[in-house]
Structure 1
């Protein structure tokens, strides 16, 4: 059975290579948005299919911000802009991701995402429209599919590995193809082109494109300040072209004189008032080497020098040398034996199965395994734990040559899973935006000091200045609405 599967995999891989090579002969096509001929192996229908498949994975893995009114607000603006573009019939879809990272993403086929982190840094509906228009430009100019097509021609080996070893992707909850699309970086030329298209789409909707300049300046400040989150920051996927602001001004001048509607500042700030700001501890947080999940009520110890990545469906810890990992997820099975059977039934995985035991009083099954990969053998340990009507799957592994040095640390982490009962760890609340109206003219620093008088400020005045697109000493007029954090 294994030999037949391998042969079939090679035949499929060979067919893909042949298809890619021959499609390259006719891979240059004219984009109606830009009027330019570019190398692209994908039809728009293929882009739509790719976007649809990735959308489900991204929504499930990253999670959407649970505010239907805010989701509808962003979607309505985006769909209206997309429908007025050169590709009005795409299944335009706009979602707010529940993540503190400051970024926005566009997938092929019309799927666009903004994080709540970036929404916190906008001051008006026009600024939101500016970023949505920019991302729509990436879609209509087909930047992602063009870059993927070029990668297919230069990285066939990576594609072959994925075709030949699809089963290995089930060993642990690693990011799939949809998530990998979020990490695709555009070129500076792509950015300039999307800026130009974004200016056009904004103006066609009646928004003053000058708002896009303010946004780009703010995002550059955010990138320099650094940040966190599960996703790459704006600068990592949207490299900042030289003279960006001046180029945008040039695109605005090319439009000629126009009348624009108000920027919608007050309405926008009203809609994000109370929005979660920063990391949401209810979704899990780390403290002193321990990961706590208040909602699912469990704790897990990770090595103190390992990097912890908290996703909706998995918690992943990676060693400092990036040669070992511990990953926790919830199995779709309802019993320890069934969950273990899924792992050990994979063709590339070998092991004796699990031994039933108890971990911190919870029913569990523990075992070891080996798996063959394109890069060589990996060895690891696994624990399946029954807790609160769920089966938790914990897998730790590294390359076979390094496993001896990690085995003890990994096994200690797997055996640290425990029920969380400490109310101090459970009763955590996230920070939220609080939009206030300034009563009298003052500097932002003075407003900050007055707002937090008698309490400890959760964020520095510099951060408050950043989300308001001001400086700490900026003068704020009476009656102006500003964002604070409580």
Structure 2
């Protein structure tokens, strides 16, 4: 009888949850309504902004607002309350969350070489929204939670603590399927062509993406970490763009190279040292006036809300973030609640003269969740009261690996000190500077004339979307490095 009731409930639930996809016209199963999509976007947007920060450039922000709203009106869901924002991150990335929130990093804006490349990626991200890809992934998460309630054993991941410390940004990094990405590529071509852009440039940008990945030693950079191979996409998008242009049968399509390059002249490139930077194995934060050593050989990632460090094997995570609270005791209570910790021990101490509190914790687990002692996650936390603010170091690893990584945790925490070196405090960011070349020469020669060091020539060739051997004609605009 219970089985029959459950089956009836599921059929009823499925009936209520079917909707017609505005892009394909087909009926699909979805647990997230449009009003819920919009609410999700409004909920996540403040977290996105807090985690990455907004890039302060009124002209650039006006540009993406105008272009974004214009293209959104041509999409399959023009009625959504779209918002377009530039995040202050050097990572080459763009993404969208449900309800019409679309984000570009300053990193990707610096790598576009014309307005048409931007428009292609803009159309791609709007496509994720119109085809409800994020909402579909959220549906999968909801169904996964149903499975969890039913007693499915899920092994804890270290990364979940980083997400908890950032107020749960997991939605931003949902992995779209290859079908979703292909559909968004198609929509990117369709929308950008309808808006009057040359979508062939969208294909060209995939070549840039591929080269970024090759240069960094990764198979693909962040923007394509869950996407199809950039080389395959170049061929496919190129073909789709040509077909789309034949269908619209319109005159000259917009590329706008010079106008776009002039607009991004002066954009911050790479890490902004004012928000913290890594140099010679240490992390420095000029505005907050502290520094500490990074464990030797560990990778690191910086954001406005959190600095993360991890070894290459991924079996440990050390992060620094702000703790909520005016006192160490209050910060401890808030940390335990926020990260859902079970405290094993805690004690007062000092770190280079600053009041501190150390605690060792484990994850609070459900009674139905079975977990071996060796695989239990141990969290070593140190809260430090520094210049009226409380910072929290959290070192995470498995019980069986604690003896391996705990010395690295302690070494980093104990290196936390006041930053007073004027050279470190006054470090300025690099910026993209756009120059008109006075003579015809190879890109390599042009870059060298503007002082680009030899070990960064290939990097700047990628930023320009060219090869070092390409001939650059007199009067052409190129990107170089400056302050």
Structure 1 length-normalised TM: 0.85
Residue 223 of structure 1 contacts residue 234 of structure 1 at CA under 8 Å; is this kept in 2? no
Residue 18 of structure 1: how far off its partner (Å): 11
What is the DSSP-based 3-state SS (H/G/I as helix, E as strand, rest coil) of the residue aligned with 2:90? coil
From 471, 478, 481, the counterpart of 1:475: 471
* Aligned equivalent of 2:258: 266
For 1:86-101, list aligned pairs within 5 A.
86-101=76-91
For 1:262-341, list aligned pairs within 5 A.
262-341=254-333
Residue 354 of structure 1 contacts residue 366 of structure 1 at CA under 8 Å; is this kept in 2? yes
Looking at structure 1, the residues matched to 131 and 312 of structure 2 have their Cα atoms a distance apart, in angstroms, of 39
Residue 89 of structure 1: how far off its partner (Å): 1.7
Looking at structure 2, the residues matched to 32 and 47 of structure 1 have their Cα atoms a distance apart, in angstroms, of 14
* Aligned equivalent of 1:196: 186
Deviations 1:120-171 (A, max 9, x none): 1212222211210111111111122223334544675468899x9xxx9997
Deviations 1:294-339 (A, max 9, x none): 2211112232133322221111222444333322111221222221
Give yes or no for the alignment of 1:244 onto 2:236: yes
RMSD of aligned alpha carbons: 3.4
For 1:148-227, list aligned pairs within 5 A.
148-150=138-140, 152-153=142-143, 156-157=146-147, 174=164, 179-226=169-216
* Aligned equivalent of 2:114: 124
* Aligned equivalent of 2:361: 369
Give yes or no for the alignment of 1:354 onto 2:347: yes
Residue 360 of structure 1: how far off its partner (Å): 1.0
Looking at structure 2, the residues matched to 195 and 109 of structure 1 have their Cα atoms a distance apart, in angstroms, of 19
What is the DSSP-based 3-state SS (H/G/I as helix, E as strand, rest coil) of the residue aligned with 1:310? strand
What is the DSSP-based 3-state SS (H/G/I as helix, E as strand, rest coil) of the residue aligned with 2:179? helix
> Which stretches in structure 2 are left out of the alignment for 5+ residues?
1-5
Residue 380 of structure 2 contacts residue 395 of structure 2 at CA under 8 Å; is this kept in 1? yes
Cα 1:177–1:232 change in 2 (3 A) is farther
Cα 1:305–1:451 change in 2 (3 A) is closer
Looking at structure 2, the residues matched to 269 and 435 of structure 1 have their Cα atoms a distance apart, in angstroms, of 7
Cα 1:387–1:474 change in 2 (3 A) is same
Residue 479 of structure 1: how far off its partner (Å): 1.5
What is the DSSP-based 3-state SS (H/G/I as helix, E as strand, rest coil) of the residue aligned with 1:291? strand
Looking at structure 2, the residues matched to 322 and 217 of structure 1 have their Cα atoms a distance apart, in angstroms, of 29
Cα 1:178–1:341 change in 2 (3 A) is closer
Residue 248 of structure 1: how far off its partner (Å): 1.9
Cα 1:336–1:122 change in 2 (3 A) is same
Residue 343 of structure 1 contacts residue 349 of structure 1 at CA under 8 Å; is this kept in 2? no
Moved more, 177-186 or 74-83: 177-186
Deviations 1:16-74 (A, max 9, x none): 99988853455442212222233322211111122221221111112221223212211
* Number of residues of Structure 1 aligned to a counterpart in Structure 2: 464
What is the DSSP-based 3-state SS (H/G/I as helix, E as strand, rest coil) of the residue aligned with 1:76? helix
Residue 435 of structure 1: how far off its partner (Å): 0.1
Cα 1:189–1:175 change in 2 (3 A) is farther
Residue 471 of structure 1: how far off its partner (Å): 1.2
Cα 1:283–1:25 change in 2 (3 A) is same
* Aligned equivalent of 2:395: 396
* Aligned equivalent of 1:234: 223
* Aligned equivalent of 2:442: 443
Residue 186 of structure 1: how far off its partner (Å): 2.6
Cα 1:159–1:144 change in 2 (3 A) is farther
For 1:402-421, list aligned pairs within 5 A.
402-421=401-420
